[in-house]
């Protein structure tokens, strides 16, 4: 293969997932080893003494604000229960997610994601930043998925669209509630301190993406990686891990800590933009997903982002002479461009 063809094939592999159903041994391009990972991150070395676990917070409880603040400072993540999203909708969303990923590969490829886009079917956008490929596939949507769903199921897409739209609406409401609690825990309010984020001219311009993730059964899970370590490019992310283990969060001193699935709970991740807005008080959480050799895991991640031209900067009330601003102002759009240029150096690159 000549060098141009080789680099084209590699770019293609980073964009489009494998036909996982037809693979019985792990291809070398998917075999992660300690040499392909930073030395402090052996592939599946999970240090978990079970005394350390991600907080599960009942947001209906009076102490919720303090618990949320503590979780965002210590972990950059928590699980939320008693949130009011019906369990039946969790189940319908999981069912439709499985239905999509069980389509034949050639059908899913009809809606392939463009290389620098986020809508459609493909490998995770972070894939080109790692030397090995990930044992996963994804499908991104923003608002109504009808255009894509019609290509997947020409006669039978209405239910998928209805469920995904309902899920997005519930997730948006939950995000507003949780961001309100996070800010409240710092003595701030949505009303006074999030004006930059609010709808202009009565239309909601927040950039929210719903990403469905699929981690097929893997023949050699100890050498594979579902979704490599990353932080989310969002203000916050709400994740439904559909009752199957796989998500791990990194905590200094504890290493990779598995997030035990709790039925009907949502995992809340502090994203990079919340780290900026909170002037470093809340940390965006480094996390990854591992795979297994018995069950097909799916998850859904709802990313809350600002209007693309909104300026993201440390909130004024969190800045004073003893707490100078830690980050340069950046628009939501500029941040995403920068992230996919320098990946995990992005926060460092805008640090003052």
Ligand X SMILES: C=C1C[C@]23C[C@@]1(O)CC[C@H]2[C@@]12CCC[C@@](C)(C(=O)O1)[C@H]2[C@@H]3C(=O)O
Residues with catalytic function: 297
Query: In whole angstroms, how close is the CB of 130 to ligand X at the nearest point?
Result: 10
Q: Which is nearer to ligand AKG, 83 or 287 (CB)?
A: 287
Query: In whole angstroms, how close is the CB of 84 to ligand X at the nearest point?
Result: 25
Q: Which is nearer to ligand X, 65 or 130 (CB)?
A: 130
From 182, 208, 301, 312, residue interacting with ligand AKG (rule: CB under 6 A): 301
Using rule CB under 6 A, residue 125 touches ligand AKG:
no
Q: Which is nearer to ligand AKG, 14 or 287 (CB)?
A: 287
Contact 133, 127 (CB under 8 A): yes
Q: Which is nearer to ligand AKG, 185 or 240 (CB)?
A: 240
Strands 56-58 and 77-81 turn out to be parallel
Q: Which does 93 bind (CB under 5 to 8 A by kind): Fe ion, ligand AKG, ligand X, none?
A: none
Span from 19-27, 56-64, 240-248, 340-348 in contact with ligand AKG (CB under 6 A): 240-248
From 127, 261, 299, 332, residue interacting with ligand AKG (rule: CB under 6 A): 299
Contact 257, 46 (CB under 8 A): yes
Q: Which of 125, 130, 155, 154 is nearest to 140 (CA)?
A: 125
Query: In whole angstroms, how close is the CB of 233 to ligand AKG at the nearest point?
Result: 9
Helix H or strand E encompassing 122: strand 120-122
Query: In whole angstroms, how close is the CB of 227 to ligand X at the nearest point?
Result: 6
At 150, phi and psi to the nearest 5?
-65, -35
Q: Which does 140 bind (CB under 5 to 8 A by kind): ligand AKG, Fe ion, ligand X, none?
A: ligand X
Q: DSSP string of 196-245? A: GGSPBTTB---EEEEEEEEE---S-GGG--SEEEE--SSSEEEEE-TT-S
Q: Which does 126 bind (CB under 5 to 8 A by kind): ligand AKG, Fe ion, ligand X, none?
A: ligand X
CB atoms within 10 A of CB 83: 19
Query: In whole angstroms, how close is the CB of 217 to ligand AKG at the nearest point?
Result: 15
Per-residue binding string, ligand AKG, 249-288, x by CB under 6 A, is --------------------------------------x-
Q: Whole-angstrom Cα distance, residue 118 to residue 182? A: 27
SS3 325: coil
Q: Which is nearer to Fe ion, 92 or 232 (CB)?
A: 232
Using rule CB under 5 A, residue 232 touches Fe ion:
yes
Query: In whole angstroms, how close is the CB of 335 to ligand X at the nearest point?
Result: 10
At 201, phi and psi to the nearest 5?
50, 35
Q: Which of 274, 178, 172 is nearest to 233 (CA)?
A: 274
At 178, phi and psi to the nearest 5?
-70, -40
Q: Which is nearer to ligand X, 170 or 232 (CB)?
A: 232
CB atoms within 10 A of CB 111: 21
Site for ligand AKG in 174-213 (CB under 6 A): 211, 213
Q: Whole-angstrom Cα distance, residue 256 to residue 254? A: 7
At 276, phi and psi to the nearest 5?
-65, -50
Residues that bind Fe ion (CB under 5 A): 232
Residues that bind ligand AKG (CB under 6 A): 211, 213, 227, 232, 239, 241, 246-247, 287, 289, 299, 301
């Amino acid at each position: 293969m000549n060098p141009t063809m080789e680099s084209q094939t590699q770019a293609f592999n980073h964009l489009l997932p494998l036909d996982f159903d037809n693979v019985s041994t792990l291809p070398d391009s998917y075999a992660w080893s300690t040499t392909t990972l930073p030395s402090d991150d052996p592939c599946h070395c999970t240090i978990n003494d079970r005394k350390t676990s991600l907080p599960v917070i009942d947001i209906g409880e009076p102490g919720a604000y303090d618990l949320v603040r503590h979780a965002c400072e210590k972990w950059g993540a928590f699980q939320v229960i008693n949130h009011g999203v019906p369990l039946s909708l969790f189940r319908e969303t999981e069912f439709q997610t499985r239905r999509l990923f069980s389509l034949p590969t050639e059908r899913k490829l009809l809606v392939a994601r463009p290389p620098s886009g986020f809508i459609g079917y493909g490998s995770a956008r972070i894939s080109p930043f790692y030397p090995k490929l990930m044992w996963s596939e994804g499908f991104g949507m923003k608002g109504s998925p009808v255009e894509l769903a019609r290509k997947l199921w020409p006669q039978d897409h209405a239910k998928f669209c209805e469920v995904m739209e309902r899920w997005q609406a519930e997730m948006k409401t939950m995000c507003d509630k949780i961001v309100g609690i996070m800010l409240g825990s710092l003595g701030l309010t949505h009303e006074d301190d999030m004006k930059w984020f609010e709808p202009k001219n009565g239309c909601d311009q927040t950039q929210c993406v719903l990403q469905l993730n699929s981690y097929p059964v893997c023949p050699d899970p100890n050498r594979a990686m579902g979704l490599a370590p990353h932080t989310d490019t969002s203000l916050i992310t709400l994740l439904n891990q559909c009752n199957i283990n796989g998500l791990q969060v990194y905590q200094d001193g504890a290493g990779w800590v598995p997030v035990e699935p709790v039925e009907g709970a949502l995992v809340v991740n502090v994203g990079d933009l919340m780290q900026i807005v909170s002037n470093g008080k809340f940390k965006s959480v480094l996390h990854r997903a591992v795979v297994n050799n018995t069950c097909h895991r799916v998850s859904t991640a709802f990313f809350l982002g600002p209007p693309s031209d909104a300026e993201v900067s440390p909130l004024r009330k969190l800045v004073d002479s003893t707490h100078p601003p830690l980050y340069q102002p950046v628009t939501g759009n500029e941040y995403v461009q920068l992230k996919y240029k320098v990946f995990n150096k992005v926060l460092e690159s805008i640090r003052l």
